[in-house]
Amino acid sequence: MSGGKAPGGDRPRFPARLPTVGTPPTAPARAGASPARKAPAVVPASLPAARSLPAGRPLPSPAAPGMARRPVAGTAPQPASWDSAAVRARMVQKLEAQGIDHPTVLQAMNTVERHRFVDSGLVNQAYEDTSLPIGLGQTISKPSVVARMAALLLGAEAARSGPPARLLEIGTGCGYQAAVLGLLAREVYSIERLRGLHDKARANLRPFRIANVHLLFGDGMEGYAKGAPYAGIIAAAGGEALPDAWCEQLAVGGRLVAPMVTRGGQQALVVVDRTPHGLKQTVLEDVHFVPLKSGIA
Ligand code: SAH
């Protein structure tokens, strides 16, 4: 899955050399990736010139330029005595105690400063294992859920031999999970249907200068065919069923991780693996995600 040119396709090489950083490289949709479907009205955001964070290699420590100790305009001033690295390290220890044992995921959770993605009044709760409001009735997922879903994604066949080439996230929200995913994969496409949150995520991510996370404004129920096929698709909002486009845009060996309403109206985490023989669905633990909605607003 990593790099190189796919047979018969004009796939970008990874790490991709992007003409304009933050703009998705144009990858033609593959035959079978819903050719009859109307292309989603997805508008790529442009981020400033940035460096790539190398996926799957030793990650920059929180002190590395661009990822920490960097004043971020628009976020809460922190008390001089507050050591976010220590609080974050404790959060990671708790994740380990809860059974998250994927080293790359733990490293990413230790690197991304969650407190920079929440409103100033919530900064002191940023490293608790709780979801928090991010505006427009939406929430940033609990750290344990972000870590669990990321670890499931990295368990896909397509991620066994190295960092997944391309991931798609449905529901950018404040951009926190997109930043975590950016440390795990070569390229990440993240779609948000609410303009206000899309703009917020862009502002939140800008100071980190992450070149491999591409923010898109549009209805994620259509997926994003231009970046397909994906080694992994992750949804941060749950509906009654999994949209066809998501399964169609999964690479063989790829994995979809999403909340979905299953038994008796209860949401559960669902994993769909695309094998050479078809789709295999597994229903895991109950979860509570905001609803997946169609259209943009
Ligand atoms: N991963 C996010 C979680 C955001 S909550 C974070 O780290 O903050 C889930 C998000 O999914 C919400 O922002 C909601 O607006 C969005 N969403 C719901 N349905 C959607 C759809 N069809 N397409 C894109 N985003 C959607």
Domain locations in the chain as residue ranges = 56-70+83-291
Q: How far apart are CA 112 and CA 127, in angstroms?
A: 11
Six-digit token string for 20 = 């304009």
Predicted local distance difference test score (pLDDT) of residue 52: 41
**Residue nearest (by alpha carbon) to ligand 1 atom 16:** 171
Q: What are the pLDDT digits (tens) for 127-164?
A: 999 999 999 999 999 999 999 999 999 999 999 999 99
Alpha carbon distance 287, 236 (integer Å): 11
**Structure confidence at residue 17 as a pLDDT band (50, 70, 90):** very low
Distance from the alpha carbon of residue 192 to the mean position of ligand 1, in angstroms: 6
Q: How many CB atoms are closer than 10 A to CB 252?
A: 14
What value does the mean pLDDT take over residues 272-293? Answer: 97
Mean pLDDT of 231-237: 98
Per-residue tokens: 167: 């991931």
CATH number of the 56-70+83-291 domain: 3.40.50.150
Higher pLDDT, 93 or 49: 93
* pLDDT > 50? residue 19: no
Nearest-atom index, ligand 1, CA of 201: 8
45 touches 93 (CB < 8 A): no
For residues 161 and 164, give the distance between their C-alpha atoms in angstroms, rounded to a whole number: 8
Give the model's pLDDT for residue 80: 56
**What percent of the chain stands above pLDDT 70?**
73
Say whether 144 is catalytic: no
Q: Which two tokens stand for residue 39?
A: 């292309």
Catalytic residue among 34, 52, 84, 141: 141
Q: Residue 209: is its pLDDT beyond 80?
A: yes
Q: Is the pLDDT of residue 232 over 60?
A: yes
* Position 7 pLDDT exceeds 90: no
How many Å apart are CA 234 and CA 238, to the nearest integer? 11
Where is pLDDT greater, at 249 or 263?
A: 249
Among residues 122, 148, 158, the alpha carbon closest in space to that of 234 is found at 148
According to the model, what pLDDT value does residue 177 have?
98
Predicted pLDDT at 265: 87
Provide the pLDDT for residue 165: 96
The pLDDT of residue 178 is above 50: yes
Q: Which residue has the higher pLDDT, 218 or 263?
A: 218
Quote the pLDDT of residue 222: 98
Query: pLDDT tens digit string along 65-117?
Result: 333 333 323 345 555 567 899 999 999 999 999 999 999 999 999 999 999 99
Q: What Cα–Cα distance (Å) separates residue 284 from each residue in 166, 236, 262, 266, 271?
A: 24, 15, 10, 12, 8
Q: How far is CA 180 from CA 29, 99, 167, 274, in A?
A: 26, 18, 12, 24
Q: What pLDDT score does 2 carry? A: 33
pLDDT, position 78: 58
The percent of residues above 90 in pLDDT, for the chain, comes to 71
pLDDT in tens, 250-270: 999 999 999 999 978 899 999
**8 CA from centroid of ligand 1 (Å):** 34
| pLDDT for 79 | 59
Residue 140's pLDDT is: 97
- 202 CA → ligand 1 middle, Å: 14
Take atom 21 of ligand 1 and give the residue whose Cα is closest.
220
- What integer pLDDT is reported at residue 42 of this predicted model? 57
Residue ranges lining ligand 1, Cβ < 6 Å: 134, 138-141, 170-171, 173-174, 176-177, 191-194, 197, 219-221, 236-237, 290, 292-294
Buried-state track 192-221, b at ≥16 Cβ within 10 A, e below 16: bbbeebbebbbebbbbbbbbbbbbbbbbbb
